[in-house]
Structure 1
Amino acid sequence: MFSTFARIRTLYSSTTFTNNTSIFRCIKTIAPSIDQCSNPFSGKGSCGRSVPNDDYFATIHHVSNIVRRDIYLERTLNKMHISRIVNSELVYRVLRSCCQHGIESFRFFNWARTQHPQYDPTTVEFEELLKTLARTAHWETMWKVVQQMKAQNIPISPSIVSFIIEHYGKRGLIDQAVELFNRLKNFGCSQTTEVYNAMLFALCEVKNFQGAYALIRRMIRKGTVPDKLTYSILVNGWCSAGKMREAQEFLEEMSRKGFNPPVRGRDLLIDGLLSAGYLESAKGLVRKMTKEGFVPDVGTFNSLAEAVCKTGEIDFCIDLFNDVCRLGLCPDTETYKIVITAAAKAGRIDEAFQILHRSIEAGHRPFPSLYAPILKAFFRRGQFDDAFSFFSDMKVKGHPPNRPLYTMLIKMCCRGGRFVEASNYLVEMTELNLLPMSRSFDTVTDGLKNCGKHDLAKRIEQLEISVKGI
């Protein structure tokens, strides 16, 4: 670690940051020509605009606020004189920003089409509007948009049809979902696996498991191959209704017919129990699996471990992790993140260290959110020197520290009265072009003054001025 005075010498050579607080300019002055926006989705960053990105996105934000809040939005938008920048990208971004305002989005879309002859809507905007109207249950308006698409020979993709069917199911409108499913040929859309899964989800939402099972039989009869989601939807539905026996029988029958799920049936059952909130049943099934020598899927284990940790059963999570690893589980980075965090929170630092080193040996380079829990555990136990040494080691072996990690370090140092070390980390942040929070500067300078280090406090204040351009 650098000495305090060597670090402070860098205060005067630190990179100066400037605030991007440009004032919102008149829209007339930033509007590009029509030709410049003729290809709106080429080069997402610039889109052929001569407008600075900050001004362009400020315009989109302003228009979105008008659409969401202004009763007379058409009149207000006309007063803005933004005709020359109304293109597919702008309309899409505004529609996406207003995804919870169905009728208002529809009015904005109509305004863009009728008031700007140069604007020719694409499939992207139409589908975004359909999703918004389905999400907000404006069905009649949604079908008007569908008819507009049909009149312009714009096809509806299976993903949008699936989205609409799912939202019919969430609202309990199963008859409408079935009608749409049966009328797909009228829209030039085929009944893909994705569409079948959406219909299956809608049936399970209204607890019509008999109909859902009949749909799967029809799906197989038509030659459509089920995927993992197909099995998961029905198993999750049965588990949520407490019908675990039916779920097991379904998986066994599908296996007999040669349609084995992409993952093992027990993993699907565990996922279903977790989704339904039956944590104890899921834990019991995993215990039974491990006693028989079977290893759960890594994704299933991660879901179970995360749910168990939320209930505070840290010991169970760590012990289960050790058991499944002995049986041959190959943990991924998410597994390590869950288990290391759990062990560190429980104060089991030695085990957290062992698991971290195991991840390094497995070829995983530690990232900040992986080693931050161990750092925090050291600080909570007052082992500052161990924490500083471990952090130095991670800077070499792991991914570079990020802004939240440095903020945590400074905060924990200040809590422990280690204000000089906190000031060093402030300087280190600026060297890495990571702008510290104002609160971090204030806490460090106040602490330095209280412990009599006024010269150092003054230099930290000068650092704050230099990096913020005050």
Structure 2
Amino acid sequence: MSVHSIDPAKLRDASWLVPQIVNLCRSQVQRALELYRVAMKAGAKLQQFETEDCRQMFSALVTSAIRVGQADEALRVLQDLQRQGPGLDMSIFTSATKLCTSKQLFPECLAIYDFMLDACKLEVNDKTVWSCLLFCAIETKSYHRCSFFFEQLRTYGEASSKDFSNMVRFASSTGEWELALKMLEDMRKASVEIDSIVYNTVLASCVVAEQVDAARKLLEQVVKDGGVADVIAFNTLSKGYAKAGRIDECCELYDWMHSLGIKPSQVTYGILLDSCINENQIERAAQVFETMKAEGCPMNTVLYTTLIKGFARAGQVDQATRIYEQMRTERTVAPDLITFSILIKANCDHGDLEVSLKLMAEMRQLGLKPDEVVFNNLLGGCVNWKQEGNVELAKSLYKDMISAGVRPSNATYSILIRLYSQCKMLDEAVDLLRHEPVAHGVRAEARLYAQLAQCCLRERQGRRAVEVYKMLTEHSTPTPAVHSSMLGMCIKLNMLDTGAEILSLAASVGGRVDARDAAALMDAAVKKKKPQVVETLRSAMMQLKLPVSA
């Protein structure tokens, strides 16, 4: 029957209610909770129940609610027990803590602990409970609780391997490498088994904290003691050496691994390659690559691409291409977007735009779509094409970029402005900046307007430079740096009328101008004996509240 149709007298009768709820909790948790709530509304007085009956009922309600993932409901029941019943006891709290932990209800477990602490301040002398709370604190990143929970745990018993592991996780997450080492030492003293995960976590803590020498000392101790030193441990330390630029130690670790019979992994070789390339030791990187192939290490895209990147960075485009060709012969390894991006840029920088276009075609044949970086590199190649630029190809690439659904960026427009300026096509550059960013939802940065204005000034097109400056003021307030570069160029090229007009416009829009730049422009106008320019500058400087000398 519906719980709402039950006789209220029965609901208030503990001898009837308690067995009913305990029985329902075994298979119908929601119905048990509903019956409990209806009974409370019907006037059931928990203080009148036998203490043992009351605790039995609440224990069943709490544990069953947690079992079905309703820890918040369990907390409300516990609050009723404390406020209206005989109060919390240690057994219910212990059961709730352990069950929440096993069900991975970590925040809820801590919430129950906080309620217990505030409501009745039970003395928790069960080591297992503190162990559960420590684990919950780690999982919820409540790191401020961890040290206290661990201290309480050790007060009531010996910490287990899992407890120490959790403290190592805590130390690693908070960057406390010294604490991680101390936990490791405590484990040794307590004769607690230490697995490779703990060792590697402590090693990683030292490496992240840039305590590479401490990490090396630990690894040596592990090997000496016959502990579990695996390839992950060596790779972790190798990353630390690579980051510190200590390439010789990276290579020495590699030899040490061999002497211990530990087989290097793809990650091992990747770290070695990266460290050689970052230190510009390209030939050494090539040796590592050949060793890797000779030892039968399975090749992958990352390893090939890393070496290609190294040769490209060193300007050895032919060598980078040779590695790419080797990569293409591997049936199980295919170049990815990063591989092509590196090669395309390298060839563009080297002036081989035709090769770059061929690479993009090969990339598309593999089903890869060029992104903004690839298109920008190709556009940059158009700027450098035979020292004179290739505007038509750039226009075609830009159109292709839009058609492919690749959104241009400020970098894209900066490249095109440079190309148009180089080819004396400032009208098209102005038209581009006026219309294209808006058409494709790109917010043009102030630097683009400053760049184009500078290009106009270099070509002594003062009216065009002023037009671009006005466009800039329509989008944002020019910075002192922008004014400094433009006014400086006007002085250098003796375009003082243009400089005065720009300063007047800056005053009208409330722009920020460095007093030294305005004063330098004024000095130049005075020296050139241009009274009209001087008067224009004086008026603008007064409006900008800049000092005007006699």
**TM-score (norm: length of structure 2):** 0.45
- 2-structure distance, mates of 1:427, 1:219: 70
- 2-structure distance, mates of 1:423, 1:239: 45
Residues 293/368 of structure 1: CA separation in 2 closer, same or farther (3 Å cut): same
Residues 125/439 of structure 1: CA separation in 2 closer, same or farther (3 Å cut): farther
- 2-structure distance, mates of 1:264, 1:364: 24
1:169-214 per-position Cα deviation (integer Å, ceiling 9, x unaligned): xxxx5xx53222355799xxx9887653331242872256364045
- The answer (yes or no) to whether the contact 2:210–2:240 under 8 Å persists in 1 is yes
Match of 2:389 in 1: 315
Confirm or deny that 1:163 pairs with 2:243. Answer: yes
Match of 2:323 in 1: 247
- 1-structure distance, mates of 2:313, 2:293: 14
Confirm or deny that 1:342 pairs with 2:419. Answer: yes
* CA apart distance, 1:249: 3.3
- 2-structure distance, mates of 1:443, 1:253: 64
Cα-Cα RMSD: 4.9
- 2-structure distance, mates of 1:399, 1:339: 22
Match of 2:196 in 1: none
- The answer (yes or no) to whether the contact 1:184–1:191 under 8 Å persists in 2 is yes
Residues 428/465 of structure 1: CA separation in 2 closer, same or farther (3 Å cut): closer
Once the two structures are overlaid, the 10-residue window that deviates more, 284-293 or 408-417, is 284-293
Partner secondary structure for residue 351 of structure 1: helix
- 2-structure distance, mates of 1:421, 1:463: 14
Partner secondary structure for residue 323 of structure 2: helix
- The answer (yes or no) to whether the contact 1:343–1:351 under 8 Å persists in 2 is yes
Confirm or deny that 1:262 pairs with 2:336. Answer: yes
Residues 218/300 of structure 1: CA separation in 2 closer, same or farther (3 Å cut): farther
- The answer (yes or no) to whether the contact 1:162–1:198 under 8 Å persists in 2 is yes
* CA apart distance, 1:270: 3.0
- For 1:216-231, list aligned pairs within 5 A: 221=298, 226=302, 229-230=305-306
- 2-structure distance, mates of 1:238, 1:147: 32
* Greater relative CO (CA pairs within 8 A, separation 6+): 1
- 2-structure distance, mates of 1:124, 1:292: 41
- Structure 1 gap segments, 5+ residues each: 1-121, 131-142
- 2-structure distance, mates of 1:229, 1:288: 18
- For 1:411-430, list aligned pairs within 5 A: 411-414=488-491, 415-418=494-497, 420-425=500-505, 427=507
Match of 2:355 in 1: 285
1:61-92 per-position Cα deviation (integer Å, ceiling 9, x unaligned): xxxxxxxxxxxxxxxxxxxxxxxxxxxxxxxx
Match of 2:441 in 1: 363
- The answer (yes or no) to whether the contact 1:445–1:458 under 8 Å persists in 2 is no
Match of 2:210 in 1: 127
Residues 320/437 of structure 1: CA separation in 2 closer, same or farther (3 Å cut): farther
* CA apart distance, 1:160: 2.5
Match of 2:372 in 1: 298
1:366-402 per-position Cα deviation (integer Å, ceiling 9, x unaligned): 1122122322343345543443333223322x34422
- 2-structure distance, mates of 1:290, 1:148: 49
- 1-structure distance, mates of 2:537, 2:322: 69
1:248-299 per-position Cα deviation (integer Å, ceiling 9, x unaligned): 4322234x21x3333175544334546xx7433xx22134457889585532
1:98-131 per-position Cα deviation (integer Å, ceiling 9, x unaligned): xxxxxxxxxxxxxxxxxxxxxxxx9699628x6x
- 1-structure distance, mates of 2:384, 2:286: 31
- The answer (yes or no) to whether the contact 1:403–1:436 under 8 Å persists in 2 is yes
Partner secondary structure for residue 364 of structure 1: coil
Q: Give aligned-pair identity as a percent.
A: 14
- For 1:318-397, list aligned pairs within 5 A: 318-327=391-400, 328=403, 330=406, 331-356=408-433, 357-396=435-474
- Tell me the amino acid that sits aligned with residue 205 of structure 1: I
* CA apart distance, 1:405: 1.9
- 2-structure distance, mates of 1:230, 1:219: 18
- 2-structure distance, mates of 1:340, 1:180: 50
Residues 378/209 of structure 1: CA separation in 2 closer, same or farther (3 Å cut): closer
- The answer (yes or no) to whether the contact 2:272–2:285 under 8 Å persists in 1 is no
- The answer (yes or no) to whether the contact 2:504–2:537 under 8 Å persists in 1 is no
Residues 199/343 of structure 1: CA separation in 2 closer, same or farther (3 Å cut): same
Match of 2:520 in 1: 442
Confirm or deny that 1:209 pairs with 2:286. Answer: yes
- For 1:87-106, list aligned pairs within 5 A: none
* CA apart distance, 1:424: 1.7
Residues 344/242 of structure 1: CA separation in 2 closer, same or farther (3 Å cut): closer
- The answer (yes or no) to whether the contact 1:235–1:268 under 8 Å persists in 2 is no
- Tell me the amino acid that sits aligned with residue 226 of structure 1: V
Name the larger-Rg structure.
Answer: 2
- How many residues of Structure 1 are paired with residues of Structure 2 in the alignment? 314
* CA apart distance, 1:443: 1.9
- 2-structure distance, mates of 1:151, 1:334: 49
Match of 1:196 in 2: 269
* CA apart distance, 1:343: 1.1
1:28-85 per-position Cα deviation (integer Å, ceiling 9, x unaligned): xxxxxxxxxxxxxxxxxxxxxxxxxxxxxxxxxxxxxxxxxxxxxxxxxxxxxxxxxx
Partner secondary structure for residue 337 of structure 2: coil
- The answer (yes or no) to whether the contact 2:453–2:468 under 8 Å persists in 1 is yes
